[in-house]
């Protein structure tokens, strides 16, 4: 899973969310049990950020919430993937979505887009 995860994180961090989603879907299709839940949460996260990139904030919000709910089941890390960092990034994105929804006429601050992290020597 490490090489696939590295390629995924690189695509996501480069804001290539559709590529990252396609990579996550491929991993999800090959996974079982707990790993399947992990990749399902990752797929939803990608879909949420695809929606944000298309300014479809209403679609993005429930996707991020669902993704956070799934990924919380994995503790601090899953393999080399830093779950807490991803959750913190998604939470900032969710808070920004709420801010934009409450203040009509404002735009999503793209500096709130998260950077995912891998632990150990897998850092991207």
Burial class (CB in 10 A: 0-12, 13-18, 19+), 44: buried
pLDDT of residue 1: 55
Average pLDDT over residues 68-77: 93
Express each pLDDT in 13-50 by its tens digit.
Answer: 999 999 999 999 999 999 888 889 999 999 999 999 99
**24 close to 1: Cβ distance less than 8 angstroms:** no
Residue 91 CA to residue 67 CA, distance in Å, equals 11
Contacts with 81 (C-beta within 8 Å, 6 or more apart), sequence order? 5, 9, 116, 117, 118, 119
- pLDDT of 5 > 80? The answer is yes
pLDDT band of residue 106 (cuts 50, 70, 90) is confident
Mean pLDDT of 61-85: 93
Using the predicted structure, report yes or no on whether residue 84 has a pLDDT greater than 90.
Answer: yes
Let me know: does 12 contact 116? Beta carbons within 8 Å.
Answer: yes
Angle between helices 2-13 and 17-30 in degrees, nearest 10: 160
Q: Does domain 2-118 have CATH number 3.40.50.10330?
A: no
């Amino acid at each position: 899973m490490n090489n696939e995860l590295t390629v995924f994180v690189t695509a996501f961090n480069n804001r290539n969310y559709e590529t990252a989603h396609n990579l996550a879907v491929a991993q999800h299709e090959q996974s079982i049990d707990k790993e399947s839940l992990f990749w399902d949460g990752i797929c939803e996260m990608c879909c949420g950020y695809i929606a944000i990139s298309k300014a479809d904030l209403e679609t993005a919000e429930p996707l991020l919430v669902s993704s956070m709910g799934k990924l919380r089941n994995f503790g601090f890390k899953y393999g080399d993937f830093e779950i807490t960092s991803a959750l913190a990034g998604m939470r900032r994105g969710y808070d920004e979505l709420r801010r934009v929804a409450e203040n009509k006429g404002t735009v999503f601050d793209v500096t709130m887009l998260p950077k995912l992290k891998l632990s150990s020597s897998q850092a991207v």
